[in-house]
Structure 1
Amino acid sequence: MSKFDTIINSEKPVLIDFFATWCGPCKMLGPILKEVKDRLGERISIIKVDVDKNQQIASKYQVRGVPTMILYQRGQQLWRQSGVLTKQEIIKNILEKSNK
């Protein structure tokens, strides 16, 4: 099992942020995700994956555009969204989709 597989099989919901350093919207999403983490604290893990440095993972999970956020819990994909959302939209989706 890869490190990535171990991360997404967590009991705790894990939000993966697939991003690229050259992507403007990705830079906008960074501070929003920090606010999400500040708000939800230990109830969620947020992991950033640079698609240029992790092309195999991006390809395996069919990430075609950045930013793309995918929410996992116990290895199951619960939610997926491309583009920038507000903090409230992201938190709402995490709380609705996860088993918390």
Structure 2
Amino acid sequence: MIKEITNFEEFNAVANQGKVLVDVYSKTCGPCKMLGFVLADLEKDMPDAVILKVDFDRNKEIVEKYDVASYPTILLLQDGEEVKRLKGLQQKPVLKQLLEA
């Protein structure tokens, strides 16, 4: 499931429940748009995976909490705690392996 996050409370409600992949992006970023297609393809293979999309410019609380300085940034969270961080455009096999680990 890919879910667009619009506020901090919504993020916390989902991010604290097990393994969650977070895509911090900007609507004006080319690599971010490409990553969106990769994540949509990943969702087809892993429909039970929880993927949150966080707009860098609209979710300052989340960006500050996880100290995200650039986009795209992928965070792997386990019960709300960051366990892995990837920066830049990522390919589907890398993200799939991250979720399966």
1:3 corresponds in structure 2 to: 10
Instruction: Note the aligned Cα RMSD (angstroms).
Output: 1.5
Q: Distance in 2 between matches of 1:34 and 1:81?
A: 18
Shift of 1:28: 0.7
Aligned counterpart for 1:80 among listed residues 71, 85, 91:
85
Q: In the superposition, relative to structure 1, how do residues 56 and 74 fare at CA in structure 2: closer, same or farther (>3 Å)?
A: closer
1:67-95 alpha-carbon deviations (Å, 9 max, x no partner): 00111122222211111111011101221
The residue aligned with 2:40 is: 34
Q: 2:71 aligns with which of 52, 57, 66?
A: 66
Residues 1:89 and 2:97 are matched in the alignment: no
Post-superposition shift, 1:39? Answer: 0.7
Identity of aligned residues (%): 34
Q: Segments of 4+ in structure 1 off by > 6 A?
A: none
Q: Could you list the runs of 5+ residues in structure 2 that have no partner in the other structure?
A: 1-7
Q: Unaligned 5+ residue runs, structure 1?
A: none
- The equivalent of 2:5 in structure 1 is none
| C-alpha separation in 2, matches of 1:57 and 1:85 | 21
TM-score when normalising by structure 2: 0.85
* TM-score with structure 1 setting the length: 0.86
Q: Distance in 2 between matches of 1:41 and 1:78?
A: 21
Per residue, is there more helix in 1 or in 2? Answer: 1
